[in-house]
Amino acid sequence: MTFSRDLSHVPDDFRVGGFRFAATAAGIRRDGRIDVGLIVAPEGTSAAGVFTTNLVRAAPVTIAEQRLALGRARALLVNSGCANACTGPAGHEATARSTRALAAALGVSEAEILPASTGVIGAVLPAERIEQCATQLAGQADERGFGDFARAILTTDRWPKVAWRRVPTGSGSTNLLVIAKGAGMIHPELGPPQATMLAFAVTDAVLPAVALKPMLARAVDDTFNACSVDGDTSTNDAVIILASGQSGHRPEPAEFERALQGAFAELAASMVADGEGAEHLATIRVSGLETRDQARQIAKTVATSLLVKTALYGKDINWGRLLAAAGRAGVPFDPQRASVRVGGVEIVRDGGPVGAGAEARANDVLAQPEYAIELCLGDGPGAFAYRTSDLGHGYVDVNAGYRS
Amino acid sequence: MTFSRDLSHVPDDFRVGGFRFAATAAGIRRDGRIDVGLIVAPEGTSAAGVFTTNLVRAAPVTIAEQRLALGRARALLVNSGCANACTGPAGHEATARSTRALAAALGVSEAEILPASTGVIGAVLPAERIEQCATQLAGQADERGFGDFARAILTTDRWPKVAWRRVPTGSGSTNLLVIAKGAGMIHPELGPPQATMLAFAVTDAVLPAVALKPMLARAVDDTFNACSVDGDTSTNDAVIILASGQSGHRPEPAEFERALQGAFAELAASMVADGEGAEHLATIRVSGLETRDQARQIAKTVATSLLVKTALYGKDINWGRLLAAAGRAGVPFDPQRASVRVGGVEIVRDGGPVGAGAEARANDVLAQPEYAIELCLGDGPGAFAYRTSDLGHGYVDVNAGYRS
């Protein structure tokens, strides 16, 4: 999986018809970095979203989900530095106030502004800082401003996360741009309508809201919902798509969905590679089970095992930890039939070790920044791939001191 | 919870009637430390055990469980340095050979020798090293040798784990000694008949096997089955109890069970406090749910959250992480009614923060080696307590290089 650590991969002439972007330093983050991003959409833009299934949900999640019942939107207002979660009625009012200020600046209805937040839990969003910069933000919005937007929504991320696609249609082509953030509290469980990863997709394709929602749910299923940094599902995860229709072209839905899923996969890989303190991106491929759900359950259990993640950090293919994690997943399989490959090197066959030579070659693979680990556990058709990162001292450094 | 980091708490005259202990360095561990322990029991000793529910089970687990169908045993043969897991028929034969050698040395039936192993997964137990020392081990067994036994079964543990009780009966008293090990791959899920923690209880009480088994299952439920270091359930967990009857006294079952559970709780606390790299022992108390199982599910999710465990390492009461973990446990509750106390200091009330002063006092609590964190999430009767450790650089150091 290729992904970029900057924006140099986006062609200079790339635009998504109708969308404009802005960002500013509103003073929500203490470090003075840009912390508020805005996406402005034209009239008639259809919208859909999926949100975290965590029972503890931030105010912006609740409000954005309610507003998406309309199936349309005119703007996305996103801040870093404050999750506005566990903040009760005061938090709800703060998010409402910030969207109200932006609605006035843009001259649109408050109900068409979708909020999203990421950052520390428990502090109320300082709405007055967004009120103070709303007019300026609205004024500076520009169709090439997505790079600033992408940087404004980062928290512990090391790099901005942007993917783009041109989706051909019979009569021409449409454009798709997806901007994401996420490095910690990453274990999205985005519901039939769920993820603090954030991802915002904008397209100028002609696509009604009713078509966007199921497409979004399917596209997250084996991308954002199949990746983990730390096993902790956030209170603020949100994936939102906006379609302006301004290209005038209506793509073949399956083709557009493939493009969307491809962009999501690219960004899920980028998020996990950028996982807090991570040095490696590992794809855990599990196959041979009776069902895809069984394979998913095992892949997820292996991908979130601390002993597996620290072994990857140590660049030592401690395969017993892989099988022990698979064995506690609650899914039946015959351990005597298990085989394990690391970057194509078979190290376990029929449930036992192939030999020290193979393991040494596998350890060479583990020194690479990106690799796949395959567990074949039978001959059933069920297979699933889950992305995970290694876990080492960098992770501890980030998380033992993140709040202060 | 008080526990000891050495054996000085055991009275000099403490014996458990009928049991003898031995240990030696058989050369299974590369570092030359003692690595094989033996407990010899007298004729007529009743026995019961619970073992890991991991689908991937080591050879000694399979063999010990089969043999316990007899309800009696004459010896426990335990090694560190090699788990003998994922070793197929060769591993099974190696465990069988080692118990055969010991049976011959003791002059008892092979079917009455219960094996247990802990250490690296994937290497076959070198049975010949146990064959070479079987006679010597059998010969040196001594009723005060439990300290050596306790040390022989350690792996990444920093200290030996021994608990003792005198259980009064109407006519006299009986003795109970429990010896455990465990610091990593600690997340026991001991089944109706299930734990690489190992714990071995010996008593001279008169208790038939049929009484021991349900007692054991209940005693592990909120002790070993309610503690976690890393969330990884081992292939080798085993808890076995042997009752020699040599005191001649039959304790009141409920009283004996309380003593057993108390000893298990003491050792579960010791294991978690000795968790790989751990500096703190935290008890996560969850209450106010409808059922105990719901409270258990939330307590376990909070106790195994990486973000919670790294916050504890950082001594920063990042309570948003506590609530976010509770919210993803799959159990319904009203976040607006949540309260959180750390060492008795209330920091969250009605789902929101009490204030910075309270948090500063809570952080002082987190500097202590041992404390409780209470989450009250409603007014239902369901409550559960789960023990966990902090996770920091020490954990990474141990696990990025454990195998080599």
CA dist., res. B57 & res. B81, Å (int): 17
Q: Are residues A64 and A210 in the same domain?
A: yes
DSSP string, B294-307: HHHHHHHHHHT-HH
Q: Are residues A334 and A208 in the same domain?
A: no
Q: How confident is the model at residue A358 (pLDDT cuts 50, 70, 90)?
A: very high
The answer to whether residue B8 sits within a structural domain is: no
Write down the pLDDT at residue B182.
Answer: 86
Range of the domain at B48: 20-273
Q: Are residues B287 and B352 in the same domain?
A: yes
Q: Are residues A339 and A241 in the same domain?
A: no
From the number of C-beta atoms within 10 Å of its C-beta (0-12, 13-18, 19+), residue B357 rates as exposed
Write down the pLDDT at residue A403.
Answer: 57
Give the alpha-carbon dihedral of B315, B320, B321, B324, to 10 degrees: 160
- Please check whether residue B356 touches A, CB under 8 A: no
Here the CATH number for the domain that contains residue B233 is: 3.60.70.12
- Please check whether residue A356 touches B, CB under 8 A: no
Q: Are residues B252 and B285 in the same domain?
A: no
Q: pLDDT tens track of chain B, all 404 residues?
A: 678 888 999 999 999 999 999 999 999 998 899 999 999 999 999 999 999 888 899 999 999 999 999 999 999 999 999 999 999 999 999 999 999 999 999 999 999 999 999 998 889 999 999 999 999 999 999 999 999 999 999 988 889 999 999 998 888 899 999 998 888 777 777 654 333 788 899 999 999 999 999 999 999 999 999 999 888 888 888 889 999 999 999 999 999 999 999 999 999 999 899 888 899 999 999 999 999 999 999 999 999 999 999 999 999 988 999 999 999 999 999 999 999 999 999 999 999 999 889 999 999 999 999 999 999 999 999 999 999 999 999 999 988 875 54
Q: For A5-47, how does the pLDDT look when each residue is reduced to its tens digit (9 = 90+)?
A: 889 999 999 999 999 999 999 999 988 999 999 999 999 999 9
The answer to whether residue A6 sits within a structural domain is: no
- Please check whether residue A344 touches B, CB under 8 A: no
User: Domain boundary at B250, B273, B296, which?
Assistant: B273
Q: Look at A186-200, A244-258, B82-96 and tell me which has the smallest mean pLDDT.
A: A186-200
Q: Tokens for A7, please give them.
A: 């924006």
CA dist., res. A269 & res. A280, Å (int): 11
Q: For A110-132, how does the pLDDT look when each residue is reduced to its tens digit (9 = 90+)?
A: 999 999 999 988 899 999 999 99
The answer to whether residue B204 sits within a structural domain is: yes
Q: Are residues A238 and A301 in the same domain?
A: no
User: Which residues 185-204 of chain A have a CB within 8 Å of chain B?
Assistant: 185, 189
Distance of residue A66 Cα from the nearest chain B Cα, in angstroms: 19
Q: Look at A179-193, A255-269, B27-41 and tell me which has the smallest mean pLDDT.
A: A179-193
Write down the pLDDT at residue A102.
Answer: 98
Give me the phi and psi of B64, to 5 degrees please: -65, -40
Return mean pLDDT, chain A.
Answer: 92
From B230, B331, B351, residue closest to A86, measured CB to CB: B351
Here the CATH number for the domain that contains residue A295 is: 3.10.20.340
The answer to whether residue A371 sits within a structural domain is: yes
Q: Are residues A221 and A307 in the same domain?
A: no
Q: How confident is the model at residue A236 (pLDDT cuts 50, 70, 90)?
A: confident
The answer to whether residue B10 sits within a structural domain is: no
Task: Indicate if the pLDDT at residue A61 is higher than 90.
Answer: yes
Q: Are residues B204 and B302 in the same domain?
A: no
End-to-end CA distance of chain B: 35
CA dist., res. A388 & res. A268, Å (int): 10
* Residue B270: partners with Cβ closer than 8 Å, 6 or more residues away: B3, B4, B5, B159, B161, B163, B180
The answer to whether the beta carbons of residues A99 and A60 sit under 8 Å apart is: no
Write down the pLDDT at residue A52.
Answer: 87
Given an 8 Å threshold on Cβ–Cβ distance, is B391 in contact with A393?
A: no
Write down the pLDDT at residue A193.
Answer: 36
**Chain B residues touching residue A393 (CB < 8 angstroms):** 393, 396
Q: For A318-327, how does the pLDDT look when each residue is reduced to its tens digit (9 = 90+)?
A: 899 999 999 9
Enter the ipTM.
Answer: 0.84
Given an 8 Å threshold on Cβ–Cβ distance, is A392 in contact with B400?
A: yes
The answer to whether the beta carbons of residues A203 and A177 sit under 8 Å apart is: yes
Catalytic residue among A196, A235, A304, A388: A196
Q: Are residues A212 and A300 in the same domain?
A: no
Q: Are residues A71 and A181 in the same domain?
A: yes
The answer to whether residue B79 sits within a structural domain is: yes
User: Domain boundary at B247, B273, B299, which?
Assistant: B273
Q: Are residues A212 and A296 in the same domain?
A: no
Q: How many domains does chain B have?
A: 2
Write down the pLDDT at residue A389.
Answer: 95
- Please check whether residue A89 touches B, CB under 8 A: no
Distance of residue B71 Cα from the nearest chain A Cα, in angstroms: 27
Pairing of strands B46-51, B238-243: antiparallel
* Residue B9: partners with Cβ closer than 8 Å, 6 or more residues away: B164
Coil vs helix vs strand at A70: helix
User: Helix %, strand %, coil % for chain B, to 5?
Assistant: 35, 25, 40
Q: Are residues A249 and A294 in the same domain?
A: no
User: Domain boundary at A273, A293, A314, which?
Assistant: A273
Give me the phi and psi of A28, to 5 degrees please: -80, -40
The answer to whether residue B162 sits within a structural domain is: yes
**Chain A residues touching residue B233 (CB < 8 angstroms):** 324, 328
Sheet with B380-389, side-by-side order of all strands: B227-228, B380-389, B281-288, B370-376, B339-342, B345-349, B352-353
Distance of residue A283 Cα from the nearest chain B Cα, in angstroms: 19
Coil vs helix vs strand at B331: coil
Task: Indicate if the pLDDT at residue A192 is higher than 50.
Answer: no
Amino acid B392 reads: G
User: Which residues 236-295 of chain B have a CB within 8 Å of chain A?
Assistant: none
Give the chain B residue nearest A338 (alpha carbons): B86
The answer to whether residue B40 sits within a structural domain is: yes
Given an 8 Å threshold on Cβ–Cβ distance, is A122 in contact with B319?
A: yes
**Helix (H) or strand (E) segment spanning residue B146:** helix B146-152
Pairing of strands B75-79, B113-117: parallel
For this structure, is A196 an active site residue? yes
From B85, B328, B399, residue closest to A320, measured CB to CB: B85
**Chain A residues touching residue B88 (CB < 8 angstroms):** 336, 350-352
Write down the pLDDT at residue A191.
Answer: 60
